[in-house]
Structure 1
Amino acid sequence: MNSGHMQPPGDDAAPRCPFAGAHAPDAPHVPEAAGDDAQAGWHRAQLDFSQSMSYGDYLSLDPILDAQHPRSPDHNEMLFIIQHQTSELWMKLALYELRAALASIRDDALPPAFKMLARVSRVLEQLVQAWNVLATMTPSEYSAMRPYLGASSGFQSYQYRELEFILGNKNAQMLRPHAHRPAIHAHLEASLQAPSLYDEVIRLLARRGFPIAPERLDADWTQPTRHDRTVEAAWLAVYREPNAHWELYEMAEELVDLEDAFRQWRFRHVTTVERIIGFKQGTGGTSGAPYLRKMLDVVLFPELWHVRTTL
């Protein structure tokens, strides 16, 4: 209990709120008609936006709200479209924050990176909750609109692919679905060939004096992350003396939070797919739920999970 917000027994009455005004009554004012204050509250609001920027202008709402084009006559397709469009918007924010976090880590500016990584974890939690909305679609409802999807699939999301690459799950074959869009293909190829978020954190460990194996520091960035004993030894030292390595300890926990949230998103994806289409092949040609189940075994930051057994 936080006693700092309580009035100790026997003390004088607590002072008035300084924002209440000198003559404010002790009890809140109750208007005679509840609608009076509500009606008066907007009288000074700006109502003419012919010469200034409005809410809709600032957010570019017209193109956003005009971007839903169902191809089937089925009522439920709107849900399907908006679910995926909003997920892409959240992924855009996650990528924006991850790129900034990467830059901060390279510059040894860790506190800003902590905030950015925490925000990405919250974005992933938002994406997890979004599956609950899509799960209101029944198998019968999805079957009515599925023929209109063609070969389109979330597997082809280039933002999701970049998210996987930045988090260290590299696979050059995943560039192929984007070969028909040269600019996107080039962008993803650059992400494939660049150090991942975790690669940059391991470089940070080396800069802080931990003996990381040279072959790990000069790894082939196009390959998925593999366990390295020198990296685990470094994290073991950090976890055994967190006060001596507080920034690295905080970084480790931010990464664990991030992967935990990402795993939950993947798991909720699998269960939603199984609930709606069972074990049918995916529209993009994957095996569907079995493929997604296999992705649950991918570990992004292996040493951070294994060190918990060693401690």
Structure 2
Amino acid sequence: MDPATPDRTSRRDLEEGIERDFTRKMSYGDYLCLDQLLAAQRPLSEPPQHDELLFIIQHQTSELWLKLLIHELRSARDLLRGDELAPALKRLARVKHIQHTLTDQWSVLATLTPSEYAEIRPFLATSSGFQSAQYREVEFLLGNKNADMVAVFSHDEAARSALDALLHEPSLYDEFLAYLSRRGYAVPAGLLARDWSQPYRLDEQLVEVFAQVYAAPHEHWGVYETCEELVDVEDNFQQWRFRHLQVVQRTIGQKVGTGGSSGVDFLRRALDLTFFPELYEVRTRIGQ
């Protein structure tokens, strides 16, 4: 072959410095505990159904992303508590990318047809995504508190304890409001010392505070940017909820959920929930 002609073979020789012997060295699989991770998919269908592995991996990977989401939201909340706005915004930027990944994953599960899902549904028994403790942690961190949800995890002391702790702690939004107060914004006192276990409710006085921010964004840029980041997070969360609803509807129609909920109707009602009501209400005031 002419030396000037590129070698078109599909073979790539290993370089001399590449590690080959891992009898006493850490490998990729060792670091990631892949022997445990890849052994965690245990289909229950009998006879075995091809599509059950898809269903299991879809939900297991979602739980891994939720774990990272909780990690980032907790950090953003702590940074706001310490008046470190810039790194908190960096955390929220990552949160948004994680949310996009979670939402995109629904397209894979949507390849599961109603007939295919019907073959594996009986083996789910009473298990349901409604019982995801990590999903509830995300909701609690964002401010959608519901004490009744804690009891759902009475069978799992670690999950119940984690949720109960978050129930009685300030949410990400609560810490943002405290940050605003320390910066001289007229946040109503009742929002700064309240029962954190109760769901957050819209406050008209706070809407006026945000109206001033949006009326002169360049004078309040850090706060203005944070408001928009929070709206992005909520918007992404609602897209995830809606995509979930769509996939459930195309897969089981109006059937009752495996966990006992009304299914699609129950999921649809979640679309009316909001984490940061003033940040949406203020939009009506802009330009008036």
Q: TM-score, normalised by structure 1?
A: 0.88
Gaps in structure 2 of 5+ consecutive residues: none
Work out the CA distance in 2 between the residues paired with 1:40 and 1:148: 47
CA distance in 1 between counterparts of 2:8 and 2:24 reads 34
Say which of 22, 28, 31 aligns to 1:49. 22
Task: Report SS of the residue matched to 1:75.
Answer: coil
1:142: how far off?
A: 0.7
Q: Distance in 2 between matches of 1:291 and 1:31?
A: 64
Alpha-carbon contact 1:202-1:231 (below 8 Å) kept: no
Name the structure 1 match of 2:34.
Answer: 61
1:221 to 196, 203, 226: 196
The answer to whether the 8 Å contact 1:205/1:234 transfers is no
User: Partner amino acid for 2:209?
Assistant: A
Q: 2:231 aligns to what?
A: 256
Q: 1:30 to 1:246 in 2, by over 3 A?
A: farther
Q: Is the 8 A contact 1:98 1:117 kept in 2?
A: yes
Q: 1:31 to 1:230 in 2, by over 3 A?
A: farther
Tell me the distance in 2 between the aligned counterparts of 1:273 and 1:118.
Answer: 29
Q: More deviation in 237-246 or 260-269? A: 237-246
Q: Does 1:102 align with 2:77?
A: yes
Distance 1:150 1:77 in 2: 14
Once superposed, which parts of structure 1, at least 4 consecutive aligned residues long, lie more than 6 Å away? none
How many Å separate the matches in 2 of 1:231 and 1:162?
26
User: How far apart are the structure 2 equivalents of 1:241 and 1:162?
Assistant: 35
Looking at structure 2, the residues matched to 165 and 231 of structure 1 have their Cα atoms a distance apart, in angstroms, of 21
Q: CA deviation at 1:30?
A: 6.2
When the two chains are superposed, the root-mean-square deviation of aligned CA atoms in Å is 1.4
CA distance in 2 between partners of 1:218 and 1:295 (Å): 27
**1:31 shift after superposition:** 5.1
Is 2:218 the partner of 1:243? yes
SS across alignment from 1:34: coil
Match of 1:33 in 2: 7
Supply the distance in 1 between the matched residues of 2:97 and 2:198 (Cα, whole angstroms): 27
CA drift of 1:50 comes to 1.4
CA distance in structure 2 between the aligned counterparts of 1:281 and 1:143, rounded to whole angstroms: 13
> How far is 1:238 from its partner?
1.3
Deviation of 1:39 after TM superposition, in Å, equals 2.7
Q: Which residue of 2 aligns with 1:307?
A: 282
SS in 2 for 1:189: helix
Unaligned 5+ segments in structure 1 are 1-28
SS at 1:50 equivalent: coil
* AA aligned opposite 1:274: Q
Displacement of 1:191 in angstroms is 0.4
* 1:169 pairs with 2:130: no
Cross-structure match for 1:17: none
Distance in 2, matches of 1:69 and 1:31, equals: 50
Query: Are 1:76 and 2:24 matched, yes or no?
Result: no
Aligned to 1:18: none
Q: Aligned-pair distance for 1:81?
A: 0.3
Q: Aligned equivalents of 2:132 and 2:78: distance in 1? A: 24
Aligned-pair CA distance for 1:223: 1.5
Deviation at 1:42, TM superposition (A): 3.4
> Taking structure 1 as reference, are residues 306 and 32 closer, same or farther at Cα in structure 2, changes over 3 Å only?
same
In structure 1, C-alpha distance between the alignment counterparts of 2:18 and 2:165, rounded to whole Å: 48
- Of residues 190, 195, 212, the one that matches 2:165 is 190
The Cα offsets for residues 245-298 of structure 1, whole Å up to 9 and x where unpaired, read as 111111111101101110000000000000000111100011111000000110
Aligned to 2:258: 283
- Which of 94, 104, 109 does residue 134 from structure 1 map onto? 109
Aligned partner of 2:64 in structure 1 is 89
Matching of residue 152 in structure 1 with residue 127 in structure 2: yes
Q: Does 1:119 find its partner at 2:94? A: yes
**Matches of 1:40 and 1:64, distance apart in 2:** 30
Name the count of aligned residue pairs: 282
| TM-fit CA distance, 1:176 | 1.4
